[in-house]
Amino acid sequence: MAKSPDQEHPHKAFGWAARDKSGLLSPFHFSRRENGDEDVTIKILFCGVCHSDLHVAKNEWGFTNYPVVPGHEIVGTVMKVGSNVKKFKVGERVGVGVIVGSCKKCESCQQDLENYCPQTIFTYNSHYTDGTKTYGGYSDMIVVDERFVLRFPDNLPSEGGAPLLCAGITVYSPMKYYGMTEPGKHLGVAGLGGLGHVAVKIGKAFGLKVTVISSSPKKEAEAIERLGADSFLVTSDRTKMKAALGTMDYIIDTVSAVHPLLPLLSLLKLNGKLVTVGLFDKPLELPIFPLVLGRKLVGGNEIGGMKETQEMLDFCAKHGVTADVEVIRMDYINTAMERLAKYDVKYRFVIDVASSLSQ
């Protein structure tokens, strides 16, 4: 008979879990595995609240395995290292993102693309190589294979840096892969939330001209004055949308609900690329004519491999890019989730785990 979560491993752990599709989180006792030769044991300091955490807590994608401890934007300090661990030592500040395992042998893993390995193990709601469930960062500690731990640059603050571990790589990776990094080119960022605001900052760091495309006129001042966007388009403003037709080289579409693609595709120049990174469960309507007549494309991208995630963190540290966050206590999490569902956050909640998670 399967052991209970708090007995299946030798080290006691404590966090907050959702137990059903209400998505309500509450205290949860479980356990973490023994620190193996390749492992690093991390005391968790902060964890970002990603929109995916909300989708999974409420089983919106249909594959949640309760109880689930979300959280894949984790910053902490190393407490213990296994005998084969080379990259880290006790006391160092590290990060853990969306994945904690892969097969390490396939073509994708060999190309540092662990995120495309068919046997990717996600930080939460997956099964580890030993068959047990993975639990995420809304918890006091985590044991992770060194390959999936990131060095946290000294000058990157923990709170503002934590969301980069998912939001940051989610926009950085397609920007690199689809060639959206030539200074002077014009990037559109659709949606100004957790992903979108980081995309604006990274876009500016690449020297791009950045236009935010949003359904909320109220976000304009913020986008331009604080985030540094060059311009702002409200999707319902027909005159301005028309004037912007065929002006963008690329668009990162971060909108996490079904929305019309036609207006966005029309904003692209010839050979323009729209990359969608928002995950939602219903299909989008894809009008063919704009693709065919303008040789445009719609692409997807999923986070990034470990090497690229480290590269992204170092890039952000160098250019002073951090997420804009609202730090919360663990017991505020359910309210935070409700506010997140209404997009009422600028722009990421980050849980101060170390200070507020108490048994």
Partner 1 sequence: MAKSPEQEHPQEAFGWAARDPSGLLSPFKFSRRATGEKDVKFKVLFCGICHSDLHSVKNEWGFSTYPLVPGHEIVGEVVEVGSKVEKFKVGDKVGVGCLVGSCGSCDNCHDHLENYCPKMILTYGAIYHDGTMTYGGYSNMMVVNEHFAIKFPQNMPLDAGAPLLCAGITVYSPMRFFGLDRPGVHLGVVGLGGLGHVAVKFAKAMGVKVTVISSSPGKREEAVQRLGADAFLVSSDINQIQAAMGTMDGIIDTVSAVHPMLPLIGLLKHNGKLVLIGAPDRPLELPVFPLIMGRKIVAGSCIGGMKETQEMIDFAAKHKITADIEVISIDHLNTAMDRLAKGDVKYRFVIDIGNTLKQA
Question: Which residue ranges make up the site for partner 1 (CB under 8 A)?
Answer: 108, 116, 174, 177, 261-262, 270, 276-281, 283-302
Q: How far is the CB of 155 from partner 1 (least distance, A)?
A: 31
Q: Which is nearer to partner 1, 131 or 283 (CB)?
A: 283
The secondary element (H helix, E strand) that includes residue 271 is: strand 268-276
Identify the bridge partners of residue 349 per DSSP, sorted by sequence position: 49, 326
**302/324 with CB nearer partner 1:** 302
For partner 1, the closer of residues 82 and 294 by Cβ is: 294
What letter does residue 47 receive in the DSSP assignment?
Answer: E
Distance CA 114, CA 340 (A): 29
**R_g (Cα) of the chain, nearest Å:** 20
For 82-106, b/e burial (b = at least 16 CB within 10 A) is beebeebeeebbbbbbbbbbbeeee
The residue type at 358: S
Shortest Cβ distance from residue 89 to partner 1 (Å)?
Answer: 34
Least separation, in Å, of the C-beta of 262 and partner 1?
A: 8
For residue 27, the minimal CB distance to partner 1 (Å) is: 32
Task: Give me the residue label for tokens 């689809």.
Answer: 178
Closest CB to partner 1 among 280 and 332? 280
Smallest gap, in angstroms, from Cβ of residue 198 to partner 1?
A: 17
Minimum separation from the CB atom of position 17 to partner 1 (A): 25
**Choice between 217 and 300, CB closer to partner 1:** 300
| Shorter beta-carbon distance to partner 1: residue 302 or 331 | 302
